[in-house]
Amino acid sequence: MLSRRHVLSLAPAAALLTMGGRAWAAPQRVIAVGGALTELIYELGAQGELVGVDSTSLYPSAATKLPNVGYARTLAAEGLLSLAPTMVVATEEAGPPAVLRQLEAAKVPLHVLRAEHRFEGVLERTKALGDLLGRQQQATALSQKLQAEWTASRAQVTKLAAGHRAPRVLFVLSNAANQARIAGSATAADAMIGYAAATNALGDAQGYKMLSPEAAIAAAPDVILATTQGLEASGGIAGLLKLPGLAQTPAGQNKRVVVMETMELLGFGPRTPKALTTLAQALHAPAVAGKTA
């Protein structure tokens, strides 16, 4: 994580050069570190300026064809600098700090945007990217579109949640090493569960905790929330429910598992309003064995 001193002020979208006495804007060479930022850049129509992305930039599919600079938290200066960027945009989750200092030493403009787990943060990042990329009009239009979608989604959540107890939801983040963590408060998963008018079954804890049988059973979730990538790594719903303690929970016994793509669910990017509707529909649907979104 970065301290506030690393958050740099916004700079003009491109330096003005002269040719034949006429000024023109030199094209940017932008690296986006953070899947949600990459998605916003595409939504702003500035994807032509992207020369590199990080490993969480899986949407849209065109982004996966760009040079990959690695995982956001474990960047390497060599890979970043080899793309000759004129700008790097990232969230506060980017690191390690030593690599970011190397970028600054190399005079590469680094712009670190706040990674807030709230819808208002999506609008703030949209405006910031619009300013950085010289796409202010597009950013205004996109913000208005997202706000309308968010308002409609919140209204839909209210209807879906009416008349019954809020389901207890346990978010499980698993990987191929058969290790799993569960999400407490102050996480993106917790924020989305709350927006969906559900209860985080691990809400009394803060941050991510290692999954243990005791923690799973004590959480007593009605629904297990997972990512498509995590489910694949676990070997499907049957494999996921073999993780410590999950089979002994109400959700495990009823095989109530809701699955969504990682960045759609947790990224807090332009897909967040639609993701909220999808999540709420799945969480508030009548209990069905093996339920997935």
The tokens of 115 are what?
Answer: 């990674």
Which tokens go with 73? 């938290």
Give the H or E element holding residue 183: strand 180-183
Residue 195: both structure tokens together: 């927006």
CATH of 4-134, one of 3.40.50.1980, 1.20.120.400, 3.50.50.60, 3.40.640.10: 3.40.50.1980
**In angstroms, rounded to a whole number, what is the distance separating the alpha carbons of residues 273 and 61?**
20
Compute the distance between CA of residue 139 and CA of residue 123 in angstroms, rounded to an integer: 9
10, 132 Cβ separation under 8 angstroms: yes
What ranges do the domains of the chain cover?
4-134, 163-283
Q: What is the pTM of this model?
A: 0.87
| Three-class SS state of 276 | helix
Q: What are phi and psi of 221, to 5 degrees?
A: -75, 150
Is residue 15 within 8 Å of residue 73, measured between CB atoms?
no
Question: Which pLDDT belongs to residue 175?
Answer: 75
Q: 163-283 falls under which CATH superfamily? A: Nitrogenase molybdenum iron protein domain (3.40.50.1980)
Sorted by sequence, the CB contacts under 8 Å of residue 279 that are 6+ apart come out as 192, 196, 225, 258, 260, 265, 293
What is the DSSP secondary-structure string of 60-110?
A: SGGGGGSPB---GGG--HHHHHTT--SEEEEETT---HHHHHHHHHTT--E
Please give the structure tokens belonging to residue 178: 């058969």
Do residues 217 and 209 make contact, with C-beta atoms less than 8 angstroms apart?
A: no
Tokens 């979608």 sit on residue: 149
Q: Parallel, antiparallel, or unpaired for β 208-210 and 180-183?
A: antiparallel
Domains 4-134 and 163-283 share a fold: yes
Please give the helix or strand (H or E) that residue 263 lies within, else none.
helix 262-266
**Which of 277, 218, 283, 286 lies closest to 257, judged by CA?**
283
Task: Let me know: does 87 contact 132? Beta carbons within 8 Å.
Answer: yes
Per-residue pLDDT tens listing for the chain (293 residues): 333 334 433 333 333 333 344 434 557 999 999 999 999 999 999 999 999 999 999 999 999 999 999 999 999 999 999 999 999 999 998 999 999 999 999 999 999 999 889 999 999 999 999 999 999 999 999 999 999 999 999 999 999 999 999 999 999 998 765 679 999 999 999 999 999 999 999 999 999 999 999 999 999 999 999 999 999 988 899 999 999 999 999 999 999 999 999 999 999 999 999 999 999 999 998 754 444 55
Q: For residue 174, what pLDDT is reported?
A: 87
pLDDT at res. 176: 61
Which secondary-structure segment (H or E) carries 268? none
The DSSP output letter for 287 is: P
Residue pair 133/111 in contact by the 8 Å Cβ criterion: no
Predicted confidence at residue 137, as pLDDT, reads 97
